[in-house]
Structure formats: C-alpha cells, structure tokens
Amino acid sequence: MNAPQRSPIRLAPITGGLVRSNPKILLGGNHQPSLLRYLDGWPKRGGKPHAFLVHFTSADQSLAHFAANSFDLAVVQAPTAERLDECVRELTRVARQGLIVRR
C-alpha cells in the first residue's frame, strides 16, 4: 500500500518572506517635515532606491480606522498623557514598526 503524501508544514506566516518594494508609511503629527527626517536611511535593503507610499494624519486623529498591519512603519508625535495608552495600542496594531517622537 502506498502511504499518503504529507503536505509540508510551514512554521512562518505565509507573508513572512514578502518584502514590499514601496514601503507604506504613516506619519502622524502636525509638523510633517520634522517627521520625514526620521525616515532618513530607512529602509536599508541592498542599496536599492525605494519610493515611499506616505499617508499623513493629524496629531489628534485616532488610528482606529486603519486595518491591522496596514503600514510598514509609523512615525507619530508623542500624544498627550490621556491618549498615550490608546496611541501605543493602535500604533502597534497598524504598523509593523513604530516610533513615537517628542517635539
């Protein structure tokens, strides 16, 4: 009797190895030129030039309407103390990498 063929087991997510050629970036704050400076040198992938797909939001806008993992990187200005928990929770949900900066 022939043994049934087993399908391979994949331990990593299917999208784990995919790299976007144009990273999606969220910049949240009122002073976009200073937020853009944080992107200097990112990403470093083989020296190839990349065009960024940038989405801007205001400092007081919630990130709740964005889908999970919809950005490769998010840079937001430091929220007020009242909004800090919500902002960090939403930032980690919508972006694979995140950065909160003081201004």
Q: What is the pLDDT of residues 62-88, one digit of tens each?
A: 888 999 989 988 888 888 888 888 888
98, 32 Cβ separation under 8 angstroms: no
Please report which residue ranges of 1-103 form alpha helices under DSSP H. Answer: 32-37, 84-94
pLDDT of residue 7: 46
Evaluate if residue 46 carries a pLDDT over 50: yes
Average pLDDT for the chain: 75
